[in-house]
Structure 1
Amino acid sequence: DSCFSVAGTLLLLLMSNLLLWEKAASVPQCQTEVGGCWEPLVETFNSAIDRVKTLRDVAEKMHLEFMELMILKNPTILRAGTHCHSNATIHPDGIVNTNIKTKKYLKQVIHLMGAWSRPLYHLVIELSVMKNVPESIISKAKSIEENNRELLDDLRSILTKVSNFLLAFPTAQIKEKDPVWDYLPSMKSNDKMNKFVAMFNLSFCLRKDIFYTVRHLRTLKCQITGKDC
């Protein structure tokens, strides 16, 4: 009987150790490191915030150049700033709904900036083939398009990490499509005035969206990582 008792005790110890090993193996490695899983996330947020600040500064300068060039041609171009297609993605004034879930809020910010991917791509193409366009405007457009792509990479990376570690969901997928820019046909047309109207709408609305995106990212960083609140 004593032999069976010892064997039973050893078996229980072995099973307990196996369970502990399995539990330890299921814990993400980052949870055992200094700073936990959120340290890489904080770095990605910092990268995204720095990038959107660069976008804000360059977009502001590009908008001022468009203002100087285009309003002299036709003051009615100003009317193109009355509607922004990205308003459908998030509150146009950058106001945060405190009841919105973190993951949904993050997706809305991704759609906000994703709404500018195609317009910026075509802006660079059109400016590059137009005559007498200042090189300063072309270089700013290229910088904005590149930084926006890299910003979206950062934001999608954050969404994936949040889904995996914070919300215990599988890798996030963004099923909704980005809003379609109404002025894209005008941008690609042969009519110069239509092009100018489209470009002014882009510079005006993009500048506004980037300004509020800085606030959105700081709010999300606080909500998700607890840093810089």
Structure 2
Amino acid sequence: MQLSLTQPSSWILLLLLMTNLLLWKNAASVPMCAMRNARCFTFFEDTFELAGSLSHNISIEVSELFTEFEKHYSKVPGLRDKSPTRCHTSFLPTPENKEQARHTHYEALLKSGEMILDAWESPLDDLVSELSTIKNVPDKIISKVTDIKKKIDAVQKGVNSLMSTMLQNGDEEKKNPAWSRLPLLQSDNEDTRIRSSYGMISCLDNDFKKVDIYLNVLKCYMLKIDNC
């Protein structure tokens, strides 16, 4: 059965299937591949292809979510305060843009993507859980956040599997940045909850633009694509 890549569930299923194959076999030493357009694609190449395409799709959806949330709650006092929101991932030593990513070794670039994705695991759970408590939040926004969370989970599993299989660091202890905004998400003050959710979505938008850059630079590296 052929799955349509325009369906979110198909993206997730394909990526999880590919990462399970990576864990099942050491793809670096097994010359297995799939023929497409007269070219042999290895499991690694396929996984990077999927992860890069899905991360780009997620980045677009997060930006759309940010715009929709901002528009819906535009009248909340202080929502678009010009003082910058400090994201919990701000201190992570990761490339800031595409130019820096291109000059970063592929192992460090993959690690940067993993650090950001892992750092969002708990905050995203909290955002999905607490968003529905906000007054008059549109079902469309809740649905989009839930869908984005599922897709990010799939990309995270893919990147974690690549790190474990390619770099042999599966036993390395992970130290995720501290997450301390849950009390704001659970505040009795409605406007505080809205501003906190808005700040989180803004940070997620910024961070996933980075992840999108990293994975697509890596995709170009793995698939030897010029002018990427």
Q: TM-score w.r.t. structure 1 length?
A: 0.73
Question: Which residue identity lines up with residue 73 of structure 2 in the other structure?
Answer: M
Aligned to 2:166: 162
1:40 Cα shift?
0.3
1:86 to 86, 89, 109: 89
Aligned to 2:31: 31
Aligned to 1:142: 146
CA contact (8 A) 2:134 2:193 kept: no
Q: TM-score w.r.t. structure 2 length?
A: 0.74
Q: Which has the higher helix share?
A: 1
Q: Deviations over 1:139-179 (max 9, x none)?
A: 0110111111111011012112312xxxxxx4533423221
Q: Deviations over 1:175-216 (max 9, x none)?
A: 232212342221122222221221111111111111222211
CA contact (8 A) 1:113 1:152 kept: yes
When residues 113 and 29 of structure 1 are mapped into structure 2, their CA distance, relative to the original with a 3 A threshold, is closer
CA contact (8 A) 2:34 2:41 kept: no
Q: Which moved more, 1:190-199 or 1:84-93?
A: 84-93
Structure 1 residue ranges without an equivalent (≥5): 1-26, 164-169
When Rg is computed on C-alpha atoms for both structures, the one with the higher figure is 1
Question: Which residue identity lines up with residue 55 of structure 2 in the other structure?
Answer: V
- Matches of 1:97 and 1:210, distance apart in 2: 14
Structure 2 residue ranges without an equivalent (≥5): 1-26
- Matches of 2:82 and 2:121, distance apart in 1: 23
1:52 Cα shift?
1.0
When residues 91 and 181 of structure 1 are mapped into structure 2, their CA distance, relative to the original with a 3 A threshold, is farther
Aligned to 1:220: 218
Aligned length: 197
Aligned to 2:67: 64
Aligned to 2:120: 116
When residues 42 and 182 of structure 1 are mapped into structure 2, their CA distance, relative to the original with a 3 A threshold, is same
Q: Which moved more, 1:76-85 or 1:133-142?
A: 76-85
1:97 Cα shift?
5.9
